[in-house]
Structure 1
Amino acid sequence: MTTMYGIPNCDTIKKARKWLEANDVAFQFHDYRKDGVDADWLQQAFDELGWENLVNKRGTTYRQLPEEQKADMDQPKALALLREHPAMIKRPVLEHNGSLHLGFKPGQYEDIFS
């Protein structure tokens, strides 16, 4: 089973979902805001993708954090912040065949599903 993690109003999520649907890829959508973020899943994502890659520093949620929360970011601090503010997780995270993939580019998805 393929699962896409993200928030539905994200433009990149919309593009990725459209690609999956156009290519007849069955998938389940996990909405961070509605469904939450499991600590074990987030740790797995940190291990596979790197915590630095998962923190979306360009997003509004991150930019609105007080400077003391952004200072000296490390894995435990990032884990707590992403659990509290799941919209700060870069999107999409795609789980397919037991592996996690970050972001969306058509060529990337073609490779994943070929």
Structure 2
Amino acid sequence: MVTLYGIKNCDSVRKAVKFLKSNNIDYELVDFRERPVECDTIDRWLRHVPIDTLLNRRGTTYRTLGLRELGPDDGEKKAWLCKENMLIKRPVAETDDGRVVVGFNESNYKELFL
């Protein structure tokens, strides 16, 4: 089983869902807007991926908050991710055995799930 974190209307999340469905992989989609991700979940992800992989620097939220100008350190980045889930790069796929992959890349998904 894969837990997919993101938002329903995100193109990358849609691609990940399409991949999982077409390969008959069971998944649950957790939409940030309906069920915000808590800090303990973010901590768990950060044991597997670097914070700069998890932080979406290309999104509107990052620009709107002016985080580039603030130059936050890793602790501040984590606090922002906990406070503002839209800063999380989407999707985050987590398997039952604890593997985590951030963003959608078909070759990474094939390697991880097939």
TM surpasses 0.5 = yes
* Contiguous gaps of at least 5 residues in structure 2: none
Greater mean deviation of Cα atoms: 18-27 or 74-83: 74-83
What's the CA shift for 1:32?
Answer: 1.3
SS at match of 1:95: strand
Aligned counterpart, 1:71: 70
Aligned counterpart, 2:9: 9
| 1:72 partner amino acid | G
Q: In the aligned structure 1, how far is the partner of 2:55 from the partner of 2:89?
A: 6
Q: In the aligned structure 2, how far is the partner of 1:113 from the partner of 1:31?
A: 21
| 1:59 partner amino acid | G
SS at match of 1:98: coil
Q: In the aligned structure 2, how far is the partner of 1:106 from the partner of 1:57?
A: 21
| 1:71 partner amino acid | L
Q: Is residue 98 of structure 1 aligned with residue 73 of structure 2?
A: no
Q: In the aligned structure 2, how far is the partner of 1:59 from the partner of 1:87?
A: 8
Runs of at least 4 residues of structure 1 off by over 4 A? none
* Contiguous gaps of at least 5 residues in structure 1: none
Aligned counterpart, 2:81: 82
Aligned counterpart, 1:113: 113
Q: In the aligned structure 2, how far is the partner of 1:18 from the partner of 1:29?
A: 12
Identity between Structure 1 and Structure 2 (%) = 35
What's the CA shift for 1:70?
Answer: 4.7
| 1:92 partner amino acid | P
Q: Is residue 55 of structure 1 aligned with residue 55 of structure 2?
A: yes
Q: Deviations over 1:13-32 (max 9, x none)?
A: 00110111111111011111
Q: In the aligned structure 2, how far is the partner of 1:50 from the partner of 1:20?
A: 24
Work out the number of aligned pairs and report it. 113
